[in-house]
Copies of this chain bind each other. A is one copy, B any other.
Protein backbone atom coordinates (compact mmCIF):
# COMPACT_ATOMS: atom_id res chain seq x y z
CA UNK A 1 0.00 0.00 0.00
CA UNK A 2 2.90 2.32 0.62
CA UNK A 3 3.80 2.01 -3.02
CA UNK A 4 0.49 3.62 -3.96
CA UNK A 5 1.61 6.74 -2.16
CA UNK A 6 -0.01 6.04 1.16
CA UNK A 7 2.41 7.23 3.75
CA UNK A 8 3.59 5.09 6.56
CA UNK A 9 2.35 6.75 9.71
CA UNK A 10 4.71 5.97 12.48
CA UNK A 11 2.88 7.07 15.55
CA UNK A 12 -0.30 5.46 14.41
CA UNK A 13 -2.00 8.81 14.06
CA UNK A 14 -4.16 9.21 11.02
CA UNK A 15 -4.40 12.88 10.22
CA UNK A 16 -5.03 15.87 12.38
CA UNK A 17 -8.63 16.48 11.45
CA UNK A 18 -9.92 12.95 11.21
CA UNK A 19 -8.18 11.73 14.30
CA UNK A 20 -9.51 14.71 16.21
CA UNK A 21 -13.00 13.79 15.00
CA UNK A 22 -12.64 10.16 15.99
CA UNK A 23 -11.26 11.11 19.37
CA UNK A 24 -14.03 13.65 19.91
CA UNK A 25 -16.56 10.99 18.99
CA UNK A 26 -15.08 8.58 21.46
CA UNK A 27 -14.04 10.57 24.48
CA UNK A 28 -15.51 12.23 27.50
CA UNK A 29 -13.73 14.28 30.15
CA UNK A 30 -11.87 11.88 32.37
CA UNK A 31 -11.99 12.08 36.13
CA UNK A 32 -9.46 9.41 36.96
CA UNK A 33 -6.55 10.49 34.80
CA UNK A 34 -4.71 13.74 35.34
CA UNK A 35 -4.12 13.96 31.62
CA UNK A 36 -6.13 11.95 29.15
CA UNK A 37 -6.49 11.56 25.44
CA UNK A 38 -4.72 14.18 23.36
CA UNK A 39 -1.21 14.06 24.77
CA UNK A 40 1.51 11.51 23.97
CA UNK A 41 0.35 9.43 26.88
CA UNK A 42 -2.18 9.37 29.69
CA UNK A 43 -1.02 10.26 33.19
CA UNK A 44 -2.56 8.59 36.23
CA UNK A 45 -2.69 10.24 39.63
CA UNK A 46 0.33 8.29 40.84
CA UNK A 47 2.50 9.53 37.97
CA UNK A 48 2.11 6.40 35.88
CA UNK A 49 2.23 7.34 32.19
CA UNK A 50 0.68 4.94 29.67
CA UNK A 51 0.70 5.03 25.89
CA UNK A 52 -0.46 2.76 23.09
CA UNK A 53 0.55 2.55 19.44
CA UNK A 54 -0.68 0.30 16.68
CA UNK A 55 1.22 -0.56 13.50
CA UNK A 56 -0.60 -2.04 10.49
CA UNK A 57 1.25 -3.94 7.78
CA UNK A 58 1.20 -2.08 4.47
CA UNK A 59 0.19 1.10 6.26
CA UNK A 60 2.92 1.66 8.83
CA UNK A 61 5.56 -0.43 7.21
CA UNK A 62 6.38 -1.98 3.87
CA UNK A 63 9.26 -4.06 2.59
CA UNK A 64 11.73 -1.24 3.29
CA UNK A 65 11.57 -2.55 6.85
CA UNK A 66 12.70 -6.02 7.87
CA UNK A 67 10.59 -7.90 10.45
CA UNK A 68 13.31 -7.09 12.98
CA UNK A 69 13.01 -3.39 12.11
CA UNK A 70 9.26 -3.62 12.73
CA UNK A 71 9.89 -5.12 16.17
CA UNK A 72 12.35 -2.35 17.00
CA UNK A 73 10.07 0.36 15.73
CA UNK A 74 6.99 -0.84 17.60
CA UNK A 75 8.88 -0.45 20.85
CA UNK A 76 10.68 2.74 19.82
CA UNK A 77 7.51 4.68 18.95
CA UNK A 78 6.04 3.88 22.35
CA UNK A 79 9.28 4.68 24.16
CA UNK A 80 9.34 7.95 22.25
CA UNK A 81 5.89 8.84 23.60
CA UNK A 82 6.95 8.06 27.16
CA UNK A 83 10.23 9.97 26.95
CA UNK A 84 8.41 12.97 25.54
CA UNK A 85 6.20 12.96 28.64
CA UNK A 86 9.26 12.86 30.88
CA UNK A 87 8.52 9.27 31.87
CA UNK A 88 10.95 6.40 32.40
CA UNK A 89 9.73 3.44 30.31
CA UNK A 90 9.17 0.34 32.40
CA UNK A 91 6.71 -2.27 31.08
CA UNK A 92 4.84 -3.20 27.93
CA UNK A 93 2.03 -5.47 26.76
CA UNK A 94 2.03 -6.74 23.19
CA UNK A 95 -1.02 -7.67 21.15
CA UNK A 96 -0.25 -9.51 17.93
CA UNK A 97 -2.83 -10.09 15.19
CA UNK A 98 -1.14 -12.45 12.73
CA UNK A 99 -2.29 -14.33 9.63
CA UNK A 100 -2.99 -18.03 10.00
CA UNK A 101 -0.80 -20.04 9.70
CA UNK A 102 1.83 -18.14 11.64
CA UNK A 103 5.02 -17.40 9.68
CA UNK A 104 7.54 -18.63 12.20
CA UNK A 105 10.53 -17.05 10.42
CA UNK A 106 8.78 -13.68 10.46
CA UNK A 107 7.93 -14.11 14.14
CA UNK A 108 11.49 -15.01 15.12
CA UNK A 109 12.96 -12.05 13.25
CA UNK A 110 10.32 -9.72 14.68
CA UNK A 111 11.13 -11.02 18.15
CA UNK A 112 14.84 -10.29 17.70
CA UNK A 113 14.21 -6.63 16.85
CA UNK A 114 11.55 -6.34 19.53
CA UNK A 115 13.92 -7.50 22.24
CA UNK A 116 16.78 -5.36 20.95
CA UNK A 117 14.57 -2.35 21.52
CA UNK A 118 13.10 -3.62 24.80
CA UNK A 119 16.64 -4.04 26.11
CA UNK A 120 17.78 -0.70 24.72
CA UNK A 121 14.94 1.19 26.37
CA UNK A 122 14.92 -1.06 29.47
CA UNK A 123 11.33 -2.15 29.01
CA UNK A 124 10.02 -5.46 30.34
CA UNK A 125 7.41 -7.28 28.24
CA UNK A 126 4.94 -8.44 30.87
CA UNK A 127 1.88 -9.61 28.95
CA UNK A 128 -0.01 -9.73 25.74
CA UNK A 129 -2.53 -11.32 23.49
CA UNK A 130 -2.36 -13.20 20.19
CA UNK A 131 -5.13 -13.47 17.64
CA UNK A 132 -5.41 -14.50 14.03
CA UNK A 133 -6.30 -11.90 11.41
CA UNK A 134 -6.02 -11.50 7.64
CA UNK A 135 -3.20 -8.95 8.04
CA UNK A 136 -0.56 -8.20 10.65
CA UNK A 137 -1.70 -5.62 13.17
CA UNK A 138 0.65 -5.02 16.08
CA UNK A 139 -0.27 -3.06 19.19
CA UNK A 140 2.07 -2.22 22.02
CA UNK A 141 0.92 -0.62 25.25
CA UNK A 142 3.78 0.76 27.31
CA UNK A 143 3.93 2.34 30.73
CA UNK A 144 6.37 4.06 32.98
CA UNK A 145 6.66 6.62 35.73
CA UNK A 146 7.16 10.37 35.57
CA UNK A 147 8.02 12.36 38.68
CA UNK A 148 7.28 15.49 36.69
CA UNK A 149 5.15 14.71 33.63
CA UNK A 150 5.59 17.27 30.86
CA UNK A 151 2.52 17.99 28.76
CA UNK A 152 2.11 19.55 25.34
CA UNK A 153 -0.46 22.01 26.67
CA UNK A 154 1.75 24.15 28.89
CA UNK A 155 3.95 26.20 26.55
CA UNK A 156 4.08 29.93 27.36
CA UNK A 157 4.67 33.03 25.25
CA UNK A 158 8.33 33.96 25.30
CA UNK A 159 9.50 30.35 25.50
CA UNK A 160 12.16 29.16 23.12
CA UNK A 161 11.12 26.31 20.81
CA UNK A 162 13.60 23.43 20.62
CA UNK A 163 13.95 20.25 18.61
CA UNK A 164 16.42 17.43 19.04
CA UNK A 165 18.40 15.63 16.34
CA UNK A 166 18.23 15.97 12.57
CA UNK A 167 14.75 16.17 11.09
CA UNK A 168 13.71 14.63 7.78
CA UNK A 169 16.03 11.65 7.82
CA UNK A 170 13.14 9.16 7.83
CA UNK A 171 11.56 11.14 4.98
CA UNK A 172 14.78 10.75 3.01
CA UNK A 173 14.85 7.07 3.94
CA UNK A 174 11.35 6.57 2.63
CA UNK A 175 11.17 8.99 -0.31
CA UNK A 176 14.68 9.13 -1.73
CA UNK A 177 15.71 6.65 -4.38
CA UNK A 178 19.26 6.74 -2.95
CA UNK A 179 18.92 7.36 0.77
CA UNK A 180 22.02 7.75 2.90
CA UNK A 181 22.79 5.02 5.42
CA UNK A 182 21.82 7.44 8.19
CA UNK A 183 18.47 8.05 6.50
CA UNK A 184 17.81 4.35 6.06
CA UNK A 185 18.66 3.78 9.71
CA UNK A 186 16.40 6.62 10.85
CA UNK A 187 13.47 5.07 9.01
CA UNK A 188 14.11 1.48 10.06
CA UNK A 189 15.57 1.91 13.53
CA UNK A 190 14.53 5.28 14.95
CA UNK A 191 16.43 5.99 18.18
CA UNK A 192 14.23 8.43 20.13
CA UNK A 193 16.19 10.39 22.77
CA UNK A 194 14.17 8.94 25.65
CA UNK A 195 16.84 9.41 28.30
CA UNK A 196 17.22 13.07 27.37
CA UNK A 197 13.46 13.63 27.61
CA UNK A 198 13.49 12.11 31.07
CA UNK A 199 16.53 14.17 32.13
CA UNK A 200 15.05 17.42 30.82
CA UNK A 201 11.83 16.73 32.71
CA UNK A 202 13.62 15.84 35.92
CA UNK A 203 15.59 19.09 35.65
CA UNK A 204 12.24 20.88 35.20
CA UNK A 205 13.60 22.62 32.10
CA UNK A 206 10.81 22.24 29.47
CA UNK A 207 7.50 24.03 29.88
CA UNK A 208 5.93 21.73 27.26
CA UNK A 209 7.17 18.69 25.37
CA UNK A 210 5.97 16.13 22.82
CA UNK A 211 7.54 13.81 20.33
CA UNK A 212 7.78 14.53 16.61
CA UNK A 213 5.95 11.67 14.95
CA UNK A 214 3.87 13.34 12.26
CA UNK A 215 6.27 16.09 11.24
CA UNK A 216 7.07 19.47 12.79
CA UNK A 217 4.33 21.21 10.84
CA UNK A 218 1.48 19.09 12.25
CA UNK A 219 2.98 18.43 15.65
CA UNK A 220 3.87 22.06 16.38
CA UNK A 221 0.35 23.07 15.35
CA UNK A 222 -0.98 20.57 17.89
CA UNK A 223 1.28 21.94 20.60
CA UNK A 224 0.12 25.49 19.83
CA UNK A 225 -3.57 24.55 19.94
CA UNK A 226 -3.12 22.50 23.12
CA UNK A 227 -1.24 25.36 24.80
CA UNK A 228 -3.44 28.14 23.34
CA UNK A 229 -0.39 29.95 21.97
CA UNK A 230 1.18 30.67 18.61
CA UNK A 231 4.72 30.20 17.33
CA UNK A 232 7.24 31.84 15.03
CA UNK A 233 9.72 29.42 13.46
CA UNK A 234 12.92 30.21 11.56
CA UNK A 235 12.88 27.71 8.69
CA UNK A 236 16.65 27.98 8.25
CA UNK A 237 17.19 27.06 11.89
CA UNK A 238 15.38 23.71 11.58
CA UNK A 239 18.16 21.11 11.65
CA UNK A 240 18.17 18.20 9.25
CA UNK A 241 18.08 17.25 5.59
CA UNK A 242 18.24 20.03 2.93
CA UNK A 243 14.65 19.68 1.65
CA UNK A 244 12.34 21.75 3.85
CA UNK A 245 9.31 19.58 3.07
CA UNK A 246 11.17 16.48 4.16
CA UNK A 247 12.25 18.26 7.36
CA UNK A 248 8.80 19.39 8.45
CA UNK A 249 6.02 17.67 6.47
CA UNK A 250 6.69 13.94 6.51
CA UNK A 251 7.18 12.81 10.08
CA UNK A 252 8.65 9.64 11.60
CA UNK A 253 11.33 11.75 13.25
CA UNK A 254 10.75 10.50 16.82
CA UNK A 255 12.73 13.43 18.10
CA UNK A 256 11.66 15.80 20.87
CA UNK A 257 9.82 19.08 20.35
CA UNK A 258 9.90 21.17 23.52
CA UNK A 259 9.59 24.68 24.81
CA UNK A 260 11.56 26.35 27.59
CA UNK A 261 12.24 29.84 28.92
CA UNK A 262 15.43 31.48 27.58
CA UNK A 263 16.98 31.20 31.05
CA UNK A 264 17.29 27.44 30.47
CA UNK A 265 19.41 27.66 27.32
CA UNK A 266 22.79 26.77 28.73
CA UNK A 267 21.42 24.01 30.97
CA UNK A 268 19.55 22.50 28.01
CA UNK A 269 22.69 22.64 25.90
CA UNK A 270 24.77 20.99 28.60
CA UNK A 271 22.24 18.26 29.34
CA UNK A 272 21.79 17.51 25.62
CA UNK A 273 25.54 17.30 25.16
CA UNK A 274 25.81 14.95 28.12
CA UNK A 275 23.29 12.65 26.41
CA UNK A 276 25.02 12.82 23.04
CA UNK A 277 22.07 14.66 21.51
CA UNK A 278 22.04 17.97 19.65
CA UNK A 279 19.20 20.26 20.71
CA UNK A 280 18.51 23.23 18.43
CA UNK A 281 16.50 26.39 19.04
CA UNK A 282 14.20 26.97 16.06
CA UNK A 283 11.86 29.74 17.20
CA UNK A 284 9.73 31.38 19.85
CA UNK A 285 6.30 30.87 21.38
CA UNK A 286 4.15 34.00 20.90
CA UNK A 287 0.79 35.02 22.30
CA UNK A 288 -2.15 34.36 20.02
CA UNK A 289 -3.81 37.61 18.92
CA UNK A 290 -7.20 38.14 20.60
CA UNK A 291 -9.80 36.28 18.56
CA UNK A 292 -7.12 34.75 16.35
CA UNK A 293 -6.21 31.14 15.72
CA UNK A 294 -3.36 29.46 17.51
CA UNK A 295 -0.93 29.33 14.63
CA UNK A 296 2.63 28.22 14.01
CA UNK A 297 4.17 30.49 11.37
CA UNK A 298 7.23 29.66 9.33
CA UNK A 299 8.97 33.03 8.95
CA UNK A 300 9.50 34.11 5.35
CA UNK A 301 8.06 30.98 3.68
CA UNK A 302 4.86 28.94 3.62
CA UNK A 303 4.70 25.54 5.25
CA UNK A 304 5.20 22.83 2.63
CA UNK A 305 2.23 20.54 1.97
CA UNK A 306 2.08 17.28 3.84
CA UNK A 307 3.95 14.50 2.07
CA UNK A 308 1.40 11.82 2.83
CA UNK A 309 -2.15 11.10 1.91
CA UNK A 310 -4.67 11.93 4.53
CA UNK A 311 -6.88 9.30 6.05
CA UNK A 312 -9.96 10.76 4.39
CA UNK A 313 -8.43 11.40 0.98
CA UNK A 314 -10.44 8.52 -0.50
Pair B91/A132 contact, Cβ less than 8 Å: no
A56-B127 contact in complex given A111-B26, A135-B134, C-beta closer than 8 Å: no
Is residue A30 within 8 Å, beta carbon to beta carbon, of the partner chain? yes
A59-B125 contact in complex given A91-B42, A115-B28, A139-B54, C-beta closer than 8 Å: no
Is residue A33 within 8 Å, beta carbon to beta carbon, of the partner chain? yes
- Which single member of B48, B51, B131, B141 contacts A48 (CB below 8 Å)? B48
What's the Cα separation between A28 and B143 when bound, in Å? 18
B contact residues around A56 at 8 Å (CB): 97, 131-133, 137
Pair B131/A25 contact, Cβ less than 8 Å: no
Is residue A14 within 8 Å, beta carbon to beta carbon, of the partner chain? yes
Q: What are 15 pairs between A and B in contact, CB < 8 Å?
A: A13-B131, A22-B98, A25-B108, A32-B124, A33-B91, A42-B93, A42-B127, A44-B91, A50-B93, A51-B127, A52-B141, A54-B131, A129-B139, A135-B135, A137-B137
Is residue A19 within 8 Å, beta carbon to beta carbon, of the partner chain? yes
Pair A129/B12 contact, Cβ less than 8 Å: yes
Number of copies: 2
Is residue A274 within 8 Å, beta carbon to beta carbon, of the partner chain? no
What's the Cα separation between A21 and B26 when bound, in Å? 36
> How near does chain B come to A314, taking the closest CB pair, in angstroms?
6
Is residue A101 within 8 Å, beta carbon to beta carbon, of the partner chain? yes
> How near does chain B come to A298, taking the closest CB pair, in angstroms?
28
Pair B33/A124 contact, Cβ less than 8 Å: yes
Residues in A11-65 with C-beta less than 8 Å from chain B? 11-14, 18-19, 21-23, 25-28, 30-33, 36-37, 41-42, 44, 48, 50-56, 58-60
What's the Cα separation between A97 and B96 when bound, in Å? 13
- The closest CB in chain B to the CB of A90 belongs to B32
Pair B126/A14 contact, Cβ less than 8 Å: no
**Residue of A115, A124, A126 with most partner-chain B CB within 10 A:** A126
Pair A59/B311 contact, Cβ less than 8 Å: no
B contact residues around A131 at 8 Å (CB): 9, 12-14, 54-56, 59-60
